[in-house]
């Protein structure tokens, strides 16, 4: 919590009086909250800061240890904000059995005032409104994943069924992954490549997301600028948590908050410019007509514009929020994929035997088929799928869902959860549940292989939680799963990773945020001599 300390120390003595007044006010509120009957148990919290200083830089592990003391449902305080942490069987209650009860987002300062409450993923909006925009997001993603060659119910419903492609999305992903591999192979000989790898992966994913979702080809200058903004926003997570939960920090950390707002505004202007450019291109192609004119739906903006043309006269929809759906998908794609690929590389380098086994399986497929596998053929690479799935389970690089909140006062495991209470639902607790997994702390891809046939156990793999569940399940899941598989196949086909540090058999610690980031990436990257990929077409 170095950022926490810095913010509080920078305030100086001039803020002593307002801080003291705030502390007394918060203490009074805190005592009142604790007197409410029936709220889940939890550790004693400090006035003003609550339990924030106890979280450290691995808050997911701290909360995991608290579970052993207080049970599957317990409470902590982030500042003066009550937070209920949900684990184990109670997760199913919240996300599946009674998901409608817990389908709101809590009110957070950054989501409501900095993001202007327009993000369907983060903002505190009515459940019915979220459902409308999430349905749109799922339809857009399905249209992209299916490429236009296959009609889907959601795509038909929203008028997206006529899309066709010159190049399938899988071919585009393979081309993007090839460019990324070339950049990975050009990394330096530094003992720790974390910053270098995260920067280049973020940049390449921004490039591809701008093309796939926004329909824009970025110049190198634009790409450098937008990837820098994305990285700086990612690195601001810890300080922004304080802004959300300790109101006085908004006054003490004015310069930092101003910079964060500027970064967010810069990102929003980028989205608006890309969407405006693509809409102008569509208007030119269609000669200004807004009816169904057979324009190719080659990216997320195309699909979303098509949707808006169908419903622009419906007062339930706002164009700014409709187009914000694409921006949310952009952010989710870049952040999730960056972290996923970083951890895949770390695990492949640490567990060499699993990497080599997957590479041999991919080589065998390519030798027989004379091409790279399609996503629909993933079960023909059972060990590769098992390796990817075990990394997702063992690492659990998204340990919690985005915060949930109950739509009304409700009871969970015998405890009162007041309406609007922030809830952290632990997906990691499911991925490490001893009732589901034998020796969950052990990294063992073979657990996802069927005993008799050696095929991929897709039923067991569905138990791994990465994209959430229920009404708030990640709208971009279909695209995310496809990308993780295709990127992994291409990278394993072209590259080999080895650990370059002394602790080569020990995984690095992770740094907490919405997603976990490896603290170090001490790896070396080499080109596979016999990959034969130069002569392989997707």
| Residue 47 pLDDT | 85
Closest Cα to residue 497, out of 349, 356, 351?
349
Contact criterion met (CB below 8 Å) for 43 and 51: yes
- What's the mean pLDDT when you consider all of the chain? 82
What is the pLDDT averaged over residues 152-163?
39
Give residue 463's pLDDT: 96
Rama region for 427: left / alpha / beta (φ>0; ψ in -120 to 50; rest): alpha
- Rounded to an integer, the average pLDDT of 398-411 is 93
Q: Is the pTM of this model over 0.75?
A: yes
**CB atoms near residue 112 (< 10 Å):** 19
- The residue among 109, 54, 110 whose CA lies nearest residue 85 is 54
Tokens (6 digits) for 145: 């994943």
Across the range 329-334, mean pLDDT stands at 85
Q: Where are the domains of the chain?
A: 2-535
Task: Look at residue 535 in the predicted model and tell me its pLDDT.
Answer: 47
Distance CA 276, CA 339 (A): 30
CA–CA gap between residue 461 and residue 382 (Å, rounded): 11
pLDDT class of 301 with cuts at 50, 70, 90: confident
Q: Residue for token digits 């590389």?
A: 345
What confidence score (pLDDT) does residue 124 get?
A: 64
Distances (CA, A) of 326 to 314, 448, 479: 20, 34, 13
CB 197 within 8 A of CB 187: yes
Q: Environment class of residue 441 by beta-carbon count within 10 Å: exposed (0-12), middle (13-18) or buried (19+)?
A: exposed
Query: For the chain, how many residues are written?
Result: 538
Q: Work out the pLDDT band at 6, boundaries 50, 70, 90.
A: very low
Instruction: Measure the N-to-C terminal CA separation of the chain; round to a whole number of Å.
Output: 46
Report which of residues 465 and 145 the model is more confident about: 465
Is residue 254 within 8 Å of residue 262, measured between CB atoms? no
pLDDT given at position 154: 41
CATH of 2-535, one of 1.10.630.10, 1.20.1270.360, 3.30.70.100, 3.40.50.300: 1.10.630.10
| Cα 91–Cα 336–Cα 407 angle in degrees, nearest 5 | 35
Q: Is the pLDDT of residue 160 over 50?
A: no
Cα–chain center distance at 532: 33
- pLDDT for the residue numbered 240: 74
pLDDT range class, residue 317, cuts 50, 70, 90: confident
Per-residue pLDDT reduced to its tens digit, 88-106: 999 999 999 898 899 888 8
What is the rounded distance in angstroms from the CA atom of residue 219 to the CA atom of residue 438?
A: 49
Quickly list DSSP for 27-43: HHHHHHHHHSTTPPP--
pLDDT of residue 288: 41
Q: Is the pLDDT of residue 510 over 80?
A: yes
User: Does 348 or 238 have the greater pLDDT score?
Assistant: 348
Residue-level pLDDT at 289: 42
Token pair for 333? 């794609």
Residue 487, CA distances (Å) to 201, 240, 483 in order = 11, 31, 6
For the chain, how are helix, strand and coil distributed in percent, rounded to 5? 55, 10, 35
Tokens of 164: 């066709």
Tell whether 495 is in a known binding site. no
Q: Is the pLDDT of residue 191 over 50?
A: yes
Checking if the pLDDT of 84 tops 80, the result is: yes
Q: How confident is the model at residue 285, as a pLDDT?
A: 62
- Could you tell me which of 36, 30, 62, 66 has the C-alpha nearest to residue 48? 30
Asked if the model's pLDDT at residue 290 lies above 90, the reply is: no
Q: Is residue 388 within 8 Å of residue 484, measured between CB atoms? A: yes
Higher pLDDT, 49 or 256: 49
């Amino acid at each position: 919590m170095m950022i926490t300390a810095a913010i509080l120390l920078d305030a100086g003595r001039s803020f002593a009086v307002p801080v003291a007044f705030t502390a007394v006010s918060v203490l009074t509120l805190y005592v009142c909250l604790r007197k409410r009957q029936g709220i889940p148990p939890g550790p004693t919290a400090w006035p003003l800061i609550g339990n924030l200083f106890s979280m450290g830089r691995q808050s997911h592990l701290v909360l995991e240890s608290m579970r052993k003391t207080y049970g599957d449902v317990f409470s902590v305080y982030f500042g003066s904000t009550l937070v209920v942490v949900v684990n184990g069987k109670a997760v199913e209650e919240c996300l599946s059995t009674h998901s409608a009860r817990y389908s709101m987002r809590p009110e957070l300062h950054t989501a409501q005032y900095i993001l202007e409450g327009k993000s369907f993923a983060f903002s505190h909006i009515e459940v019915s409104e979220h459902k409308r925009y999430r349905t749109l997001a799922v339809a857009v993603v399905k249209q992209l994943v299916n490429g236009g060659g296959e009609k889907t119910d959601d795509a038909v419903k929203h008028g997206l069924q006529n899309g066709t492609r010159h190049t399938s999305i899988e071919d585009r992903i393979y081309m993007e992954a090839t460019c990324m591999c070339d950049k990975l192979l050009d990394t330096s000989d530094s003992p720790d490549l974390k910053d270098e790898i995260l920067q280049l992966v973020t940049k390449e994913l921004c490039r591809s997301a701008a093309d796939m979702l926004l329909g824009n080809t970025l110049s190198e200058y634009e790409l450098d600028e937008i990837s820098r903004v994305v990285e700086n926003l990612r690195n601001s997570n810890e300080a922004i948590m304080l802004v959300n939960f300790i109101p006085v920090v908004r006054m003490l950390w004015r310069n930092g908050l101003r910079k964060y707002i500027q970064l967010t505004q810069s990102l929003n202007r980028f989205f608006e410019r890309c969407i405006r450019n693509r809409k102008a291109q569509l208007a030119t192609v269609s000669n200004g007509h807004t009816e169904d004119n057979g324009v190719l739906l080659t990216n997320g903006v195309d699909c979303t514009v098509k949707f808006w043309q169908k419903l622009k006269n419906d007062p339930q929809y706002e164009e700014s929020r409709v187009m914000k759906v694409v921006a949310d998908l952009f952010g989710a794609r870049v952040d999730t994929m960056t972290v996923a690929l970083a951890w895949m590389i770390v695990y492949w380098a640490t567990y060499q035997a699993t990497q080599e086994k997957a590479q041999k399986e991919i080589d065998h497929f390519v030798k027989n088929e004379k091409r790279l596998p399609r996503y629909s053929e993933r079960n023909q690479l059972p060990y590769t799928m098992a390796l990817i799935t075990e990394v997702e389970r063992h690492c659990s690089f998204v340990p919690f869902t985005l915060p949930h909140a109950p739509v009304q006062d409700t009871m969970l495991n015998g405890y009162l959860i007041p309406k609007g209470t922030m809830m952290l639902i632990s997906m990691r607790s499911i991925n490490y549940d001893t009732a589901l997994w034998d020796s969950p702390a052990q990294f063992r891809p073979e657990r996802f292989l069927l005993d008799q046939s050696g095929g991929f156990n897709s039923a067991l793999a569905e138990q791994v939680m990465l994209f959430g569940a229920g009404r708030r399940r990640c709208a971009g899941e279909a695209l995310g799963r496809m990308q993780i598989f295709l990127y992994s196949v291409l990278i394993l086909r072209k590259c080999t990773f080895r650990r370059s540090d002394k602790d080569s058999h020990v995984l690095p610690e992770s740094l907490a945020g919405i997603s976990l980031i490896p603290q170090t990436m001490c790896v070396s990257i080499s080109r596979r001599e016999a990959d034969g990929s130069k002569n392989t077409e997707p």
